[in-house]
Amino acid sequence: MRVFGAPMDLGADRRGVDMGPSAIRYAGLTDELDSLGIDCEDGGNVVVPSPERTEPDAGRPPEGRAKYLGATERVCRDLADEVAGAVADGAVPLVLGGDHSIAIGTVGGAARDRDLGIVWFDAHGDFNTPTTSPSGNVHGMSLAAILGRGSFADSEWADSPTVDAENVAMVGLRDLDDEEREAVRDSEVTAFSMTDVDQRGLPEVTRDAVEVAADGTDGVHVSLDMDFLDPTEAPGVGTPVRGGASYREGHTAMELVSRATGPALASLEIVEVNPILDDHNRTAELAVELAASALGKRIL
């Protein structure tokens, strides 16, 4: 396993998420993984330019709005190279965010030489494009970019040709923008909202999601946005939405991911931890616990 930090905050409106990788490391990530017998090296952080010295509209697509898109592209290309390098060395990449725009880089690298499915745990769809986004924040567009939707169709860096929408499952949705909702409905992705979780239970939904992602692919990428969890458990996120997964549900989902994917877990990323908004680092501590469950830790 090779850990990378992506201290990215250009894709979100709230400062502080750039400190997420430090907070998760401080919460004891590598010790925890070592104690599970996982051989874990830290590959350090990718370089992210500071917003003070970056042009917000540089690299803007011809239509719509995507703040800091040019800088985001550069960071995601670097991250993709690091992640692909880890895969080539036989290591499973674990990427720590940073805002969720970094998923474009993580998946770009993880899916470079193989067909990947994705399970996307999130309160949000991150399915906006520069023309539908109400905020212009790229963290709300990352899954659309990975699938090459809208104006991302022309951007080679964003579109991951080895990820098919039919192998993407979202879990935990409860906050979508109007046009984004239409886009999710019209797409081939499988979307499990909190209504599905309420009615069928998280274990069943998670099993189905992993099956969608694993079907006919070489492996599964798991993208865990910490706002998937209820804000009472994970207060340190920039866009909290009430009604999320409980502490136990979070662990259940990650344990099922590890049981269901096993060696097929191709890569993992944990994003949106914002220590400034947190309560004594508990969101980062929870991120470490959930990483451990996703990587095989069991109570008994």
Ligand X SMILES: NC(=[NH2+])NCCC[C@H](N)C(=O)O
Q: What angle do CA 193, 196, 202 make, to 5 degrees?
A: 95
Q: Between 23 and 62, how does the x/- string for binding to ligand X read (CB under 6 A)?
A: ----------------------------------------
Q: Which region holds residue 27: left if phi is over 0, alpha if psi is between -120 and 50, else beta?
A: alpha
- Of 73, 122, 269, 289, the residue at the interface with Mn ion (CB under 5 A) is 122
Measured distance between the N- and C-terminal CA atoms of the chain, rounded to whole angstroms = 23
190 lines the binding site for ligand X (CB under 6 A): no
Q: Which is nearer to ligand X, 129 or 261 (CB)?
A: 129
Contact partner, 230, from Mn ion, ligand X, none, Cβ < 5-8 Å per class: none
Instruction: In angstroms, give the least distance from the CB of 39 to ligand X.
Output: 30
Torsion sign over Cα 282, 278, 194, 125: negative
Active-site pick, 82, 124, 175, 269 = 124
Q: Establish whether 126 is a catalytic residue.
A: yes
Active-site pick, 99, 122, 164, 196 = 122
Q: Which of residues 203-232 bind ligand X (CB under 6 A)?
A: 225, 227
126 lines the binding site for ligand X (CB under 6 A): yes
Instruction: In angstroms, give the least distance from the CB of 122 to ligand X.
Output: 6
Q: Which stretch binds Mn ion (CB under 5 A): 13-21, 72-80, 220-228, 262-270?
A: 220-228
Active-site pick, 18, 139, 164, 251 = 139
166 lines the binding site for ligand X (CB under 6 A): no
Q: Establish whether 122 is a catalytic residue.
A: yes
Q: Establish whether 280 is a catalytic residue.
A: no
Q: Establish whether 215 is a catalytic residue.
A: no
- Of 129, 137, 187, 293, the residue at the interface with ligand X (CB under 6 A) is 137
| Best CA proximity match to 110, nearest among 209, 223, 196 | 223
Q: Which is nearer to ligand X, 44 or 134 (CB)?
A: 134
| Full 3-state SS string of the chain | CEEEEECCCCCCCCCCHHHHHHHHHHCCHHHHHHHCCCCCEEEEECCCCCHHHCCCCCCCCCCCCCCCHHHHHHHHHHHHHHHHHHHHCCCCEEEEECCHHHHHHHHHHHCCCCCEEEEEECCECCCCCCCCCCCCCHHHCHHHHHCCCHHHHHCCCCCCCCCCHHHEEEEEECECCHHHHHHHHHCCCEEEEHHHHHHHCHHHHHHHHHHHHHCCCCEEEEEEEHHHECCCCCCCCCCCCCCCECHHHHHHHHHHHHHHHHHHEEEEEEECCCHHHCCCCHHHHHHHHHHHHHCCCCCC
Contact partner, 249, from ligand X, Mn ion, none, Cβ < 5-8 Å per class: none
Spatial separation of the C-alpha atoms in residues 290 and 250, rounded to whole Å: 7
133 lines the binding site for ligand X (CB under 6 A): yes
Contact partner, 128, from ligand X, Mn ion, none, Cβ < 5-8 Å per class: ligand X
221 lines the binding site for Mn ion (CB under 5 A): no
Q: Which stretch binds Mn ion (CB under 5 A): 45-53, 95-103, 110-118, 275-283?
A: 95-103
Question: Where do contacts with Mn ion occur on this chain (CB under 5 A)?
Answer: 100, 122-124, 126, 225, 227
Catalytic residue numbers, as ranges: 100, 122, 124, 126, 139, 225, 227, 272
Question: Where do contacts with ligand X occur on this chain (CB under 6 A)?
Answer: 100, 124, 126, 128, 133, 135, 137, 139-140, 177, 225, 227, 239, 272
